[in-house]
Amino acid sequence: MGKFRELIAYKKGFSLLMEIHNLTKDFPKIEQYSLVDQIQRSSRSVCSSIGEAYKKRRYPNHFISKLTDADMENGETQVWLDVALACAYISNDTYNSLDAKCEEISKLLNFMIHNPAKFA
């Protein structure tokens, strides 16, 4: 099997983290050490957990565990998107787009979690 960077979940996760990184550059400075750090950290953790999971794919339980970590971080990213919307740092359209991308990543991760043998 190829590299983790070839996984659709990784590619979509990386695209999302870069979109969030660029978006949060315009957030108020007061949010730099709270909301910005949190949403960037959680979105980056999705991809890092996918990379770690892939390297452990010969051990199904470890693979699944790291993928559930990725899904958890993806859920945390969605919480921070809720906060960004509630604080009016992002528009409804931006929120809906980013949230839909998170949902798609979650579906991909759950497919991998329920089908670890396909990635061995």
Taking every pair of C-alpha atoms in the chain, what is the biggest distance, in angstroms?
Answer: 46
Domain boundaries, the chain: 4-119
CA distance 46 to 67: 9
pLDDT of residue 18: 98
Output the pLDDT for position 72.
Answer: 98
Is pLDDT above 70 for 105?
yes
% the chain with pLDDT above 90: 96
Q: Which two tokens stand for residue 50?
A: 């996918």
Is the pLDDT confidence value at 1 over 60? no
Q: Which CATH superfamily is domain 4-119 in?
A: 23S rRNA-intervening sequence (1.20.1440.60)
Segment 73-84 shows an average pLDDT of 98
- Quote the pTM value: 0.95
Contact between 24 and 40 (Cβ < 8 Å): yes
Q: What confidence tier does 2 reach under pLDDT thresholds 50, 70, 90?
A: confident
| pLDDT tens-place string over residues 47-60 | 999 999 999 999 99
